[in-house]
Every structure is written in C-alpha cells, then in structure tokens.
Amino acid sequence: MEPDTVAAVRKYVEQGGTFVAFNGTAMHTALDPDLRPLAELSGFKVTNTSKGGKIRFESNLPIFKGWENKEFQGWGMAVDWLNDDHAKSGNLGLAASDPSSVPLARWSDGSVAVGYRKVGRGQIITLGSTFWRDGKDVSGVWRTSHQLESQFLERLFTDCGILRTTNASVPEVWTRKMVTKNGLQNWLMAFNSTMLRPPPISGWRPTESPRQ
C-alpha cells in the first residue's frame, strides 16, 4: 500500500467510512517490505507475526456487542492438497501506538488481537487473526467447520452496517457479486467445492438486466 492510498483511506475514514484491515492488509509498499504503512492510521503497530492460542474479547466493547468476554481459538488450519497449512503463520500480535487506540480482543499473552480506532467521523478495525477454522482440501473438496468464524464475521458486518450482497446456506459454497471488467454487467460468482447439489443462493435476481 503506497502513501497516496493510505491518504485516501484516511480521508474515507475521516468522512465517516469504516475500514477493516485483515492480518495481511498493507504489509508492504512497492519498495519496502514489512513497512506496515497503515499502522499510523490504525493506531496499532505489529509486534509479532506468528501468534497462536486463544483470543478473548474485552468486557467493554464499542462494537461487537454480545461478544464481551467471549473466548475462542485464534488459530486453526487451512490445509491445501499438498498438506501445507496456510494458516500456521500470519496471525498478528498488536500493540496500541496512539491514546485513541482501543483493544477489542487480546491473545493469551496480553498482546492485542483485534484493535479499534475512531478517526474523524469513521472508524478503522484491525484484525490480527486469520479466523480460519479447520479447513482442509480433501480430494479436491474443501471441508471446513468454521461456524464460529461465520458468527464473528456476521457480527462484524452487522455492527459496521455492511449489507450482504450474496449468501449461501452452507460454508462449502462461496459466493461473490462482481462487475465485469467493462463495467456493463453484474455477475454472481458461485463456487461449490463439493460434489453435492448446491443450496439456493440469496441476494440475486435472475432477471436483473446489465447496467447501462
């Protein structure tokens, strides 16, 4: 992420937007690795890139209401067909670097796992966990049991006022609403990683005409 992009994100947040940074967001600039250029805006600096164990939410939360004092594993598995675990690294330990930085959840050693900062009329949320739960490629079929992950992201989207554009009733079907490169058509992409008949997908109207 380059300085002009960071400046654009700052402007967006100050004007009332919500920006959510995942653990891999803005790791580098074009020329400098591991610079973490978003840290000044987010109010949290990275102190560790291989955290594991449990995460516990704080007792007083500005968002994620209902998650107070909830504890869960902050690390799982994302094993590909070569048996490589892509979730074994990348979880971040964070430290507040600004008085306005608010820790929302912590790792068992006390370092911050989820951070929050109010900037202008908006807010920025930093997620230090990959939030994977026991996912594995079994003979080309993605098997997962990420119910808690889904609950967490549902809470995140609800509290941030994010409206879901597509959805499927089972985690094996991934959906995404997209716009074609020429900008003339709206597409709904659905990927079924099982050999089973896919469930109905909500949030899509088959009669929807291309944008003019």
- pLDDT tens digits, the chain, 212 residues: what are they? 898 999 999 999 999 999 999 888 888 888 888 888 898 999 999 988 888 788 999 999 988 888 899 888 777 677 888 888 776 667 889 999 999 999 999 999 999 999 999 999 999 999 888 766 677 787 777 777 655 566 677 777 777 777 777 777 766 677 778 887 777 888 888 877 666 655 555 554 444 443 33
Query: Distances from the Cα of 170 to the Cαs of 76, 134, 177, 193, in angstroms?
Result: 19, 15, 17, 11
Q: Which two tokens stand for residue 163?
A: 């409206």
pTM to 2 decimals? 0.74
Is 7 inside any structural domain?
yes
Q: Are residues 155 and 175 located together in one domain of the fold?
A: no
For residues 55 and 107, state if they share a domain: yes
181 and 133 housed in the same domain: no
Q: How many domains does the chain have?
A: 2
The answer to whether residues 175 and 99 belong to one domain is no
